[in-house]
Structures are given as structure tokens and as C-alpha cells.
Amino acid sequence: MNKYRIEKDSLGEMQVPVTALYGAQTARAVENFPISGIQLPQPLLRALGLIKKHAALTNQELGLLSHEAAEAISKAAAEIIADQLADQFPVDIFQTGSGTSSNMNINEVIANRAAGILGQPIGSKVIHPNDQVNLGQSSNDVFPSAIHIACAEQLHKGLLPRLEQLLQQLAEHSEKFHDVLKIGRTHLQDATPVTLGQVFSGYARQVELAHERLAVSSSGLYELALGGTAVGTGINTHPKFAAKTVAAIARETCLPFREATNHFEAQGSKDALLTTSSSLKNCAVSLFKIANDIRFLASGPRCGIGELILPAVQPGSSIMPGKINPVMAEALIQVCAQVVGNDATVSLCGLSGNFELNVMMPVMAYNILQSIELLDKGIAAFTEKGLAGLEADEQRCTELLERSLALVTALVPEIGYDRSSELAKRAHQTGRTLRELALEEGLSAERLDQLLDPASMTRPLA
């Protein structure tokens, strides 16, 4: 039984699996790029489907495509949008830098599926992948538009709401730990006191700012290159095509997409993606700091800092019974490391805006979408299993606070920096307390009660 059919493209004949909806150009790309086994992420396929669906309906409205063809194309594209044809997109991410192979992959799949909807056989080209599915388009404007759509959707459906949940959890901890006094630390050394609530308020603000930066920086994603076709001039497309198609995509996604102000910028550069990736990296750096702090503050439980108590989510060691490790924090910081690396790749990709086209778009898309997904899922896991059950060991916080020599800072306004420094040195050398030595210096017990009160040190002077 023959498992292949023969199809043709401009370079000649190709064998195509008989049941495949794709055609010769896809088969050729599969043969040319057996590199990673990584295929286009589903959000990017969905975005390509959205473009093809609304392009067909716009072309019908403009009188360039028959009602029958447009209806069949839009129905086939809707199946891709609904993730029903995922096995039909075998082209590797590491392919032609414009994404042409993947654009033709989706054109061929839609053409053959549309033919089936019309009761015609696969390969009949009753719906043509170039002349009808790709009508008024080029890979050079379709693929960058799809990247923008996919990234914007994933940010607004996933990562931005996830950051809001994390912010809420941190704010709740800040309130819960409002009165828990602890020693502050700078340069990994003892510093003046803070409350655990103040520490968590700082974490909450970091997340709030990360959310704001992402929301602002990603606004550039709303400009779509659609309408520029090959080099930005709009050759072979109707002058109303882009505006109408982009408006329809905006309505379906409920996001404010618009036609690019300048198509030469939109296709020759990828600055909006670079800005978004940079904000993702910044977000990862903030999250790394928060997760790392929490795991250090929870170190112990007896021989570390031990000011926080992490929820026990799994046994920590295959050899040491009873050990519990900060696994949720460790998972998140690994996510953050990957996102930082992804941004480096995206930056290098951005350098390849050669003349009228960037030619590293598929790998750029893959890395940004991976960063968004990893942060989304990493934050979800950390929030649910690492933060939700987090508790303070107030006894340990008090114990460490009372042992710290940094409290001497509060004596400076009273006895001066030099005398305070000498007092701290003597306390450290002799093992005696600051209070004992300060009493010997002539300070009264009542005044020391005021000066060495840790709670007063966490508030600004009146």
C-alpha cells in the first residue's frame, strides 16, 4: 500500500505522507531541517490561524475571494486556532529565518483542509495555498505579526494575571508579618532591625513594578506588520486589507492590535520583541532575588538563619532522613536563569535585521514564548506550594535580633560614631552585651530601653 503521494513545488516533485494535510514545501522543509525536533509552539500556530482566518474573510469582503473559498479557508483556520490539527506542523524551529517554511506549512494545511470541507481530495489545489490562503500576504509580514499576536495573548492571558496573584500573596504575607521583628542584613552581615512585613513589602513592590514594566514594554506588540508584504511596500495587497484584517483580529482577541505605523520598521527590526524580552528578563531577575532571599531566610532549620519556615512539599534527600529542601524556590530560580539566557538569544536575533527583514524570527519567537510560559508556570507553582504555607519563626527572629551587635547604630546620636564603634568591638571581643557596656559608659537604663528598642529602629524618627 502506497504511504506517499507526489506533490510539486517550484523546485520539483516531493513525496508527501498520503494522510498529511501539508504539501510539497512542508515536506521539503522537514527534509532540510532535521535539527532539534522542536516545532512551532501552539500559541504561534493559533496566531497564524487567526491571521489566515481573518485574511480570507477580509479578501472576500474586498471582492478578491469567493464566498465559498473564504468560508472554507476560515473554517479550516478555525480548527488550527482551536488546536485541532497540531500534528500537521512538523517543521523545525531552526529553519528559514523569515518563517517562510512555517507560513507555507500553514498555507498548505489550510488549503487541503479547506478542500476537504468542500468535498475535494487532498492535493487537488481546489483551494490554492499561495493564490488564495496567502492572498495579500507574505511570510515577511505574516510571521512577525503572528509572533506579536502570540506573545501579547500569552502575556495577557497568562503571565500578567499570574504576577497579580503573586503580588497579592506577597502583600498578604507583608500584612501577616507586620509585627515580626528581625535583624536586617546588608553585605550578608548584620544590619539594623526591620520587620518581616517590611521585607515582604519590598518583594511585593518588586513584583508590582515588574508587572508595570511588562505591561508598558509589551504595548509595542500591538503594532502588526501585516500589510507590508515582501519588503514593507505592500506590493500585491489591497490598500484596505491590513487595516480590516488587523481590526478583525483585535475584535476576536480583545486586544488593541493595529496596523504598524511604519512597515519598514516593523519588518526590518524586531525592537518591540527585544523590549518585551528585556522586561521578561528584568522580571526574572526580580523573582530570582525574591526566591533566593526566601530560601536563605529559611535555611536550617537549626544551623542556618531559620527565620522562615517553608511548607514541606517533598522529602529533600535520598540519604538524609527528614531533610526538607527549598525546592519550590530552587525551581523558580532555575526558570529565571533560563529566561535570562533566552533574552541573550533574543538580543542576538535582534542584531539580524538585515536591510528590509529580520532573518532570525523563528528562534526569537520560540525563546520569548518559552520565557513567558516558564515564568507563568514557575510563578504559579512557587505561589501555590512555596508561598501559600510560608510561616515565620518568631522565636528565631527574636533570638538572632537580640544577639546582633548592629543595634549599636541606635547609640550613635547619643554617644557618637567613634564611641559606639568601640562599644561594639568590646562587646564582640568580651561576649558581653551592648546594654551592659553602655550602662558602664554612663547611660541610664531608662534611656537604653528607648535607644535599644528594636521596634523603634524600624520606624523613621518623628
Active site residues: 187, 317
Write the single-letter amino acid at 47. A
Identify which of 88, 138, 44 has the alpha carbon closest to the alpha carbon of residue 363: 44
22-34: b (≥16 Cβ within 10 Å) or e: bbbbbbbbbeebe
Return d(Cα 334, Cα 284) in angstroms, integer. Answer: 10
Residues 6+ away with beta carbon under 8 Å from 78: 49, 53
Write the single-letter amino acid at 232. G
Return d(Cα 29, Cα 26) in angstroms, integer. Answer: 5
- Residue 7's beta-bridge partner residues? 14
Residue 316 CB-density burial (10 A; 0-12 exposed, 13-18 middle, 19+ buried): middle
- Residue 194's beta-bridge partner residues? 182
Does residue 232 contact residue 268 with C-beta atoms inside 8 Å?
Answer: yes
Does residue 400 contact residue 365 with C-beta atoms inside 8 Å?
Answer: no
Q: In this structure, what DSSP letter does residue 239 have? A: T
How far CA 260 is from CA of 10, 132, 223, 345, in Å, comes to: 32, 24, 5, 25
The C-alpha torsion from 346 through 351 and 355 to 358, rounded to 10°, is -10
How far CA 418 is from CA of 184, 217, 259, 423, 424, in Å, comes to: 22, 49, 66, 9, 10
Reading the block at residue 74, the C-alpha cell is 476560515
How far CA 377 is from CA of 165, 335, 336, in Å, comes to: 12, 9, 12
Return d(Cα 392, Cα 378) in angstroms, integer. Answer: 23
Q: Angle, to 10 degrees, between the axis of helix 361-381 and the axis of helix 160-176? A: 30
Reading the block at residue 104, the C-alpha cell is 507555507
Half-sphere exposure of 167 (CA within 13 A, CB side): 15
How far CA 301 is from CA of 308, 389, 412, 452, in Å, comes to: 9, 16, 34, 28
Does residue 298 contact residue 330 with C-beta atoms inside 8 Å?
Answer: no
